[in-house]
Structure 1
Amino acid sequence: MSLIDDAARVRENAHAPYSGFRVGAAVRTASGRVFAGCNVENAASPEGTCAEAGAIAAMVAAGETELAEVAIIAGARAPISPCGGCRQRLAEFGGAQVPVVMATLDGVQVTKTLGELLPMAFDASHRARG
């Protein structure tokens, strides 16, 4: 099973009663483990959670901290990319070379690196010391 298949499977569990726009994400860690997440909307919009954030939270909760690959799938006409906040979340755990596969339910796929999606990412080296 591919990482996109994992993302598609968890997408079915998305809680999207307001937008109807379900998203699934799956991440593979450097150790090879896979974690998945789906978007979870909230009546008090914008207090929902993105699929990527859910996958990252599951990964960290399991003690993993290094991304090797990311997959995202949604029922859109063209592949969707992670929002700006999720790009930064992904950059916290993955380097610029990490592939991000974005797909539609119809099988259209686009792959970019995390560095292409978030050039000049803010990281720990930018934080002031002292």
Structure 2
Amino acid sequence: MLKRFVVLLLVILSLNCENLFAADCSVSGKMVYMQLSSLRDIGPIITGYGTKTPSVILYISRDDWDGLTNNDQSDLQCYMPELVKLVNTDPARYMDLPKSAPFFSTAMKNVAHLPSNAWEIIIGKINDRGLVNFDQVIAKGR
């Protein structure tokens, strides 16, 4: 009887640990995001707001991306759905479109309630203005 109880307890604890680790990747991913954004402006920004499939983008320098561990890269990707939720709270803040633009209300309709998988991480070289040039989509929501 005690043996069955111990086995059941181990199963329950392992399920809870899996949930903790799943939550952990978005927390550590947020830390990676904060670390990268302290180096330079990486976003988020919304692109494609003139379409029915807009997405939240991070622009990361190739050197910064290559400097991350595989775990950090994975954790940042794990955090991206949480970042989309943040962007959904005030999408106008993340669009490069003035509120006075005639297209603004249509763009806002297109970005209302972005799904959690509407994200991309783009890497590239830093240009003379200190911005990351588009080079390669390294990861995106599924």
Q: TM-score range by the shorter chain?
A: under 0.3
The structure with more strand, counted as a fraction of residues: 1
**Bigger RCO (CA 8 Å, 6+ sep):** 2
Q: TM-score, normalised by structure 1?
A: 0.27
